[in-house]
Amino acid sequence: MPGFEGALGPLRKRGGWAILYNPAVHSPGRINYTLGHEFGHYLCHRQQSPGGFQCGESDVLGGTRDQEREADRFASYLLMPLDDFRAQVGSQKMDLALLRHCADRYDVSLTAAALKWLESASRCAAVVVATNGFVQWFRRNAAAERARIFFPPGMELPAGSVAAGGDATVGSIDHAPGVWWSRPTHEVAIFADHYEMTISLLVFEDFGMMPEGWEDEPTEDAFDRFTAASR
Ligand SMILES: [Zn+2]
């Protein structure tokens, strides 16, 4: 079953429920997260979906449907309590060593730790996951959402980005405006050892006050503006 990561299913004869995960996945961090995710479905959603759940890799981490996001959030809090995560990171600038420390501490993948970092970040920030140089998905915190920062799936990674450069020894860079966004951006890039995948942790310089009325504009405007600007 290609793309299968985990499942929650009712045991018709014995009663109760079972959690399954793909035995072809060898990363303990991914398996832990999948178990937490399916347990979240069990606690939160089994009444709504008596037939259970089958979740692909993109559902377990970075899923977009409501129930997938909820199960994702459950796994994140179960495995990485926010207060403990904050205590690990403190006021340190995120880099690969610190992220790896967090991933090891909670026995999760670097992607899962990166998304937790995003949740704990007080500044305007986003995480961009790309494969073969193209954005697969991204997640942003509330400050980045307010600033309408957006990286559409399928977008080519910016030419000057660490992720596009392909050199794992670079680690992090302070970018001038215009590389990732119209503001100076700090990027930490992680090069995963499979699927040609990169994870960019981005912190954007504060935007200050937004113009009045900006909240009323739909999100689509940000996408339109982005595509117009990138032409
Ligand atoms: Zn799921």
pLDDT tens-digit profile of 31-61? Answer: 999 999 999 999 999 999 999 999 988 787 7
Lowest average pLDDT, out of 40-44, 163-167, 181-185, 217-221, goes to 217-221
Q: What is the mean pLDDT of residues 50-74?
A: 87
How far does residue 115's CA lie from ligand 1's centre (Å)? 17
* Nearest in space to 177 (alpha carbons), one of 142, 229, 137, 110: 229
- Token digits of residue 76: 């994140």
As a whole number of angstroms, the distance between CA 186 and CA 176 comes to 9
- Token digits of residue 153: 């799936």
Q: What is the mean pLDDT of residues 94-101?
A: 90
- Residue 45 contacts residue 35 (beta carbons within 8 Å): no
How far does residue 16's CA lie from ligand 1's centre (Å)? 18
How far does residue 91's CA lie from ligand 1's centre (Å)? 33
If pLDDT is split at 50, 70 and 90, which confidence band does 230 have?
very low
- Residue 80 contacts residue 112 (beta carbons within 8 Å): yes
Q: In this prediction, what percent of the chain has a pLDDT beyond 90?
A: 64
Q: Which residue has the higher pLDDT, 56 or 19?
A: 19
How far does residue 112's CA lie from ligand 1's centre (Å)? 15
Looking up tokens 């980045």, which residue turns up? 144
Q: What is the pLDDT of residue 7?
A: 95
How far does residue 53's CA lie from ligand 1's centre (Å)? 6
**What integer best gives the mean pLDDT of the chain?**
86
Long-range Cβ pairs for the range 67-71 (8 Å, 24+): 67/41, 70/40, 70/44, 70/45, 71/37, 71/38, 71/40, 71/41, 71/44, 71/45
Per-residue model confidence as pLDDT tens digits over 212-224:
444 433 444 444 4
Q: Kindly report, as residue ranges, where domains of CATH 3.30.450 are found in the chain.
A: 120-230
- Residue 179 contacts residue 108 (beta carbons within 8 Å): no
Look at domain 120-230 and name its CATH class. alpha beta
How far does residue 170's CA lie from ligand 1's centre (Å)? 35
Q: What is the mean pLDDT of residues 136-164?
A: 93
Q: What is the pLDDT of residue 39?
A: 97
